[in-house]
Structure 1
Amino acid sequence: MKIASKLYRTGAFLAILLSSAGFTSCEKSLEEEAKTFINPDDFFTNETQCIQAVNGVYQTLYSIYSSPDYWRMVDLGTDVAYSIDVNSAVQNYEFGSGSNGTGSLWLNAYSGIKNANLVISRVAVAEIDNTIKQRILSEAKFLRALYYFNLSNTFGGVPLWTQEIDINAVSSLSRSSLADVRAQIIQDLTEAEMGLPLSYPSSDIGRVTKGAAQALLAKVYLFGKDWKNAKATALKVVNSGSYSLMTNYDQLFDVNTGFKNNKESIFEVQYLREPTSNTNTRTHSQISYYIPQRDAGKRTYAGVDFGNLVVDGWSVFLPTAKLVSMFEPGDKRKDIVLGFGFRDQKFTRFPKPGYPWFGSKFWDLNANGQSSGKNLYLLRYADVLLMLSEAENELGNTAESIRWMNMIRVRAGLPELAASTTRAEITNKIFNERAIEFVGEFQRRFDLNRWGKLIEAAKSVAVDNPVGAAKVKPFHQYYPIAQEEIIKNPNLEQNEGY
């Protein structure tokens, strides 16, 4: 986990570096002491500095994926989760340009892109070892691609820039087409794949690997319905021999089994909390949103004793009845994704009669208050297998599609699909499998949108989210751009419907 401490130490570093490059607000005081700044022209002179700089580009991961606004945006208003907060604009489809429901995603993602552009520009001409140079450039290109992937899935076509340019020039850019943004993402990931290693020594665990670039690239092809390239790229991940499924689904999420950076993990956001010393190095608050409600005046949660756990829980994210119904009999994932009890104790209180809470997939028994050091997955090998299943099915190769799907089903304790399973049946299975396997892993809304099923999914959970089911419209595929961004840049055009 040494990589974590490196990244944490350099979080503020890149902001300081960029401030002297003209990338921060022009209202920055000109009288601030010079020692606060680092001139980029005097930096990037050796490998250590270049690595420090790319470490700073990783910081945007925490700004995006640690945000409850992002969790709401990708799962609420879909068919897998709802909120007990009846005023949730996201799940009710009541967001608009004044309060667009995406939190600070636009600002955070573009901050990461800006930083990546600076690193790519400066490291490209730095006089350092070429192998290290190519790795650093590839890390930055992967991260830039990931941030554009988030932006394009959320807003559609967005302003596209890849150069180290003045912030005033950026603020006048118009939106590029979704096709052009995806083409740049593909270019970045293709180039990143070439310069990244398959793995790192333990001191650098958590950095982007070749497999991460390939897995994200396969996903981008999948989103673009380029089934042939999606298949070919996903097969590179499989054929690398670097990854395999964990034996049991629960091993992926149990903080006491050394689950971090396991053999199934392709890329995850690194967090660190040391419960023995109660040290919060880098944490998030996801458990507070997913754990069962704490009993008033007690240390128990919905009637169950979690031991020494002391969490400020809001329990605002709950599984839909639709998600519960997707589980087939015998699915081992059910008691991990859904919460019916803890160890030998059954919950005595539920959100609704017969409704479960979210389960141990989201819990961290080493958390304290709102602080969890549990890593968050962005890419897993299971995702690659289901991408292969979907691509093969769309290409008409049902036998191969079934083969990849069955790997996931066997791990879940389910019977293998029969060879006679039809293409339409596989499509439906993929719809359900991705919901079950990846709930809470930042995927559902994006999957529903690329399938054209967002409205259908939102309406299917009217029992849990009646307001959203009634108000969802086709234009809700994309979120609105915040009005303040359009005011700052009149060349931006608002998404349809807002």
Structure 2
Amino acid sequence: MKQSKQFLSIIVAGLLLSACDKKLDESPKSFIAPDQFFTTDAQCIQAVNGVYSGLPELFGQEDLWKSIEEGTDVLIYTGGTDGNQEYTLSAAAPGNISNVWRKCYSAITNANLIIHRVGNAKITDTLKTRLVGEALYLRALHYYILTNSFGAVPVWTDELNVDVVSTLPRADAADVRKQIKDDLLQASGQLPYSYPALETGRATKGAALALLAKVYLLDKDWANAEKYAQMVVDSKQYTLVNFADLFDVNNRFKNNKESIFEIQFKRDNATNTNTRVTYYYTWFIPVRDGNNKTYAGVDFGTTVLLGYENFCPTLALVNMFETGDKRKDVTVATSYNGQPFTRFKKPNHPWFGAKFWDLQANDRNSGKDIYFQRYADVLLTLAEAQNEQSKTADALTWINKVRADHGGLTTPVSGVAQDSVTRLIRKERAIEFVGEFQRKWDLARWGTLVDAVKSVTDDNPIGAKNIKPEFALFPVPDAEIIKNPNLKPQNKGY
């Protein structure tokens, strides 16, 4: 954590808008002192783009995805021993979660700078309002990740120098969430629902409202969770998209009508040009066979893909799909294009499917965007909030819509009790969002993480043996406590 002047070199090395790609693209610039910056509309836009620039690194590398995907009931790590899955992490050896802490606070520091400097800049008023709203949303997003990961964490919203930051104590999780809600509520009043095509990928009013509803779920404030999710529905800005098309790079799925906020990556397959890439897909796709032409016996039509075969669906997930659910063939795979796989990482376990693949990638380099928020999540959030208020029939409306539009399950569920609807929502969330940065956080807020991990003992025996309720949170890395002893006490269990 550094002083704001030191961080400006990061901000102005951020992303500029590219007219040819309708995306946020990198354009490194040299260091400029803060007092010499934030003087024009273009400079302020560039500075905000710098906060966005950290998202591909955070979401596109294993630091974050391992911490949320592993150690649940729907996905297992098959690449060897791993502390996230087996619940063997310690404060001294916290694994990849240290980088999540560091990356989130780097983004928060930059967002604080933007909110204050752009807020005081002599630029177009409407643009100023929007840019500050974007920075508020991004700050809230990173605090949301931090408190879901660590619980109580330091919170600051001002430009602070390193001496002050290095002494801040941890704020209670409830206070962190209060700040998140304040930021998102303000952002929702300052952001538009949409942007011109050349500015695709920026935070919107819908993104702020949808995340606000999720935060109220964490607080078990069902009425407000319903209120803000309903506002997203009533905006009529979003609709459910064919489930297979959501993840099909050939259909140019990026930034579709179901997408509310996604992490933007860029790769030009035609010219084999990598601009901003991720290797997320490599953890889900079968490893290339020794002949360097096939993957688990299947010809994907290319020889440049890289598979680590690190992630595999649990049998519990496979068995959640009902007969005829179209999402199953997209999510898990025993074959591709009529060719059956000839081997699997674990007996009787299929591979993960085309939802995760990028057959236009080159080696580790994928330009496939990653969803952080999509409309199906809003509908299931709304259903959960309504069901918890005994509005079971209303909740079933949204559940049935997701099941029909995404799963092709056109026979509606009706006449079931509230507790049965609760179980149905939890199953639907598992099916819909596996691999989308949701499951561990869902299990933690429901208080069902221990039972979920124990339910897949055959797939994860070490994790099932070690799991404890307190392991819903990660340890604050010892390295951070050494720098700031006021971060004590350590999270329970570590």
TM-score range for the pair, normalised by the shorter chain length: over 0.9
Question: Which residue, out of 222, 225, 245, partners 1:227?
Answer: 222
1:86 & 1:298 partners in 2: Cα distance? Answer: 23
SS at match of 2:163: helix
Q: How does 1:90-489 map to 2 (within 5 A)?
A: 90-101=84-95, 102-246=97-241, 248-411=242-405, 412-489=407-484
Q: Which residue of 2 aligns with 1:41?
A: 35
Aligned pairs, number: 474
Q: Deviations over 1:184-214 (max 9, x none)?
A: 0000000000110110011000001111111
Offset of residue 5 of structure 1: 7.8
Check whether the contact 1:121–1:163 (CA below 8 A) recurs between aligned residues: yes
Report if aligned partners of 1:309, 1:365 keep a CA contact under 8 Å in 2.
no
Cα drift, residue 6 of structure 1: 6.8
Aligned-pair CA distance for 1:62? 1.5
1:211 and 1:237 in contact (8 A); partners too = yes
Larger CA deviation: 102-111 vs 305-314: 305-314
Q: Which amino acid aligns with 1:146?
A: L
Aligned to 1:28: none
Q: Deviations over 1:416-437 (max 9, x none)?
A: 4433111111100111110110
* 1:73 alignment counterpart: 67
Q: Answer yes or no: is the 8 Å Cα contact 2:40–2:122 preserved in 1.
A: yes
1:267 alignment partner AA = F
Deviations 1:112-143 (A, max 9, x none): 00000000010111011111000000000000
| SS state at 1:104 partner | helix
Deviations 1:427-452 (A, max 9, x none): 00111110110011000000000000
Partner of 1:496 in structure 2? Answer: 492
Aligned 8 A contact 2:24 2:201 in 1 = no
One-letter code of the match for 1:363?
Answer: W
Is the 2:104–2:146 contact (alpha carbons within 8 Å) kept by the matching residues of 1? yes
Q: Distance in 2 between matches of 1:2 and 1:224?
A: 39
Contact 2:24 2:199 in 1 (8 A): no
Offset of residue 293 of structure 1: 2.3
The amino acid that maps onto 1:8 is D
Distance 1:103 1:81, change over 3 A: farther
Cα distance in structure 1, aligned partners of 2:317 and 2:283 = 18
Cα displacement (A) at 1:9: 2.5
Asked if the contact 1:309/1:366 (under 8 Å) is kept, the reply is no
Instruction: Work out the CA distance in 2 between the residues paired with 1:212 and 1:416.
Output: 31
User: 1:69 offset after TM fit, Å?
Assistant: 2.4
Rounded Cα–Cα distance in structure 2 between residues aligned with 1:249 and 1:278: 28
Amino acid at match of 2:26: R
Query: How far 1:86 moved relative to its partner?
Result: 3.0
Q: Which stretches in structure 2 are left out of the alignment for 5+ residues?
A: 1-16
Q: Deviations over 1:248-272 (max 9, x none)?
A: 2100000010100000000000111
Secondary structure class of the residue paired with 1:311: coil
Q: CA deviation at 1:401?
A: 0.4
Q: CA deviation at 1:52?
A: 0.3
Compute the TM-score of the two structures, normalised by the length of structure 1: 0.93
Cα distance in 2, alignment partners of residues 68 and 103 from structure 1: 12
Q: Which amino acid aligns with 2:81?
A: N
**2:473 is aligned with what amino acid?**
Y
Q: Residue 475 of structure 1: CA displacement? A: 1.4
Kept in 1, the 8 Å contact 2:260–2:373? The answer is: yes
Distance 1:308 1:418 in 2: 43
Q: TM-score, normalised by structure 2?
A: 0.94
Tell me: CA distance 1:416–1:162, structure 2 relative to 1, closer, same or farther (3 Å).
Answer: farther
Alignment of 1:48-59 (within 5 A): 48-59=42-53
Equivalent AA in structure 1 for residue 131 of structure 2: I
Percent sequence identity over aligned pairs: 51
Deviates more, 1:283-292 or 1:95-104: 95-104
Q: Which amino acid is 1:2 matched to?
A: S
Alignment check: 8 A CA contact 2:181 2:215 kept = yes
Check conservation: 2:23, 2:198, Cα contact below 8 A. no
